[in-house]
Structure 1
């Protein structure tokens, strides 16, 4: 069997976890009685869809009261402006002192400030009224409601429900420094998301089945986790049918989009000892040891990263009694398959 150069798509497998691209914890921003829950738990909701309705009566009354304060402040300002205008005319004729005119100016400015405060209070009252209708800020699948109709809810109630986006999804997985450096040495400069764009991510579920949609790496963390000596990598994966679920654990196989040429030998040719891995090759009719570095698997074959150039005749049978320098009678075997 000859060490064979062949274009293969090599994959490295990691343990990954699915994460929703967007995740929102829905909370009440005003306090009041919960009148209605407007969604079905587990459904997909659209952005802007109504979720909860809080009793609005007290907030509508607050708006009307604030509108009245604005009208009152407007009237006070109108009166203050007229008083100041009269003072301006009287000062010109000497019928009124400048000090009195200055008091009228100050009164007008105070009225302007009161109107601005009243308008701000009205705006705040209208905002609070709007908060009685709790809408979905994103499109996604909605979870279980933590409250039921008739309860008093407010900012202190915590999360009412959670919404997670469905399509696409993220898959995050840690890559060890050793694997990270090996990828760099092979020319796969994956230390940035832009350079990792040529890498595909294929997912496999816990039952062994393969997910149909491949993903692409879109982010590589800028720091190494000192506790685990790993770099966090994130891929974006289409999820049009909602098969992937937030928090799901699965296998993520990272592979190059285009096959690259590698040297392959059968797995049966590999021998391991205390110094590492080696194979027997045939040189001048005798067995010779070649130390090799294995760079992964490709079906039934091993990918040789270092130690062979390709074309060497590799021994795959009778290895148990073979020694370096022993004469070898070569005989053809079936060509390698797989990968």
Structure 2
């Protein structure tokens, strides 16, 4: 018979991402339904690409112009170099031309960087899911103008992972130390640091408010860096597989952790006990 300890806890997503616009423009399409299960890379929103297509085409034209100017100056530099020994051109004229060639080369690099930025902005017009999980409600509609500038970027939706899922709970330091000692003994006495507590695979179980049994099995994944002096408790985190995605972030849970090995115990059926209140 084991005598596990129980604690109150709350479920939390392993990853939570606020999806924000990275370029400004009008929303043209929304590719998901609120609460839908999604996979990393799935499209979420489309922003009007037309202004960015124009900018990219202009940047490509600037590259072609800069390349033509550079080629012309390269030819001039080569011609002046051959004329320099004949004293047809001066050393000063030749060096001025070389400097112009170098400036043209730098302008070409700048134009190519502008093309790269334009293509990146075009890519940002297609907003995709950064992870696999579930998507929350949309916070914009088709036709809305969104901003992709720094801290004022428009939040579009939120995406969370649902499998596995974490559960946070506070336990007293004695229970935590006993559970750690038990796990170390089971692995032959090889200790690990608190940072690597996951390696001990300390079992935790959890149940939802509508469940009678602790059906959700997992392991202790994290222990906080210190004990709260006012309560004598330490923040812990369990990791549960959650394959059916029944547990969602924020749900209240009861968490169970065993601190000792099972012991042989005599059990007496409840119906075999009698109470005589008259004596």
The TM-score with structure 2 as length reference comes to 0.85
* Alpha-carbon displacement from aligned partner over 1:261-285 (angstroms, at most 9, x marks no partner): 5486889xxxxxxxxxxxxxxxxxx
What is the Cα deviation at residue 207 of structure 1? Answer: 2.5
Work out whether residues 183 and 190 of structure 1, in 8 Å CA contact, stay in contact via their aligned partners in 2. no
Which aligned pairs between 1:164-243 and structure 2 lie closer than 5 A?
A: 164-183=160-179, 192=194, 193-194=196-197, 197-226=200-229, 228-243=231-246
Structure 1 gap ranges (5+) = 1-7, 268-298, 301-316, 318-339
Deviates more, 1:152-161 or 1:178-187: 178-187
**What is the RMSD of the two structures over their aligned residues, measured on CA atoms?**
2.8
Q: 1:224 Cα shift?
A: 2.9
Alpha carbons 2:32, 2:44 under 8 Å: kept: yes
What is residue 9 of structure 1 aligned with on the other side? 2
**Number of matched pairs:** 263
For the 8 Å contact 2:170–2:235, the answer to whether it is kept is yes
**What corresponds to 1:260 in structure 2?**
261
Structure number with greater Rg is 1
The C-alpha deviation readout for 1:295-333, integer Å capped at 9, x for no partner, is xxxx99xxxxxxxxxxxxxxxx9xxxxxxxxxxxxxxxx
How far, CA to CA, are the matches of 1:96 and 1:143 in structure 2? 72
Question: Is the contact between residue 20 and residue 166 of structure 1 (CA under 8 Å) also seen in structure 2?
Answer: yes
Alignment of 1:1-339 (within 5 A): 8-155=1-148, 156-183=152-179, 192=194, 193-194=196-197, 197-226=200-229, 228-255=231-258, 260=261, 262=263
CA gap of 1:244–1:48, structure 2 versus 1, over 3 A, is same
More RCO (CA 8 Å, sep 6+): 2
Cα distance between partner residues in 1 of 2:73 and 2:231: 71
Q: Which structure features the higher share of strand residues?
A: 1
Q: Deviations over 1:118-148 (max 9, x none)?
A: 0001100110111111011111100000111
Question: What are the ranges of 5 or more consecutive residues in structure 2 without an aligned counterpart?
Answer: 185-190, 275-279
Deviation digits for residues 214-265 of structure 1, max 9, x if unmatched?
1111222223345544322111111111101011111110126xx7254868
User: Per residue, is there more helix in 1 or in 2?
Assistant: 2
Aligned mates of 2:10, 2:193 — CA distance in 1: 20
Secondary structure of the equivalent of 1:242? Answer: coil
Change in CA separation of 1:224 and 1:202 when aligned onto 2, cut-off 3 Å = same
Q: Indicate conservation of the 8 Å contact 2:138/2:157, yes or no.
A: yes
Query: How far apart are residue 103 of structure 1 and its match?
Result: 0.6
Q: TM-score, normalised by structure 1?
A: 0.70
> What is the deviation of 1:38?
0.7
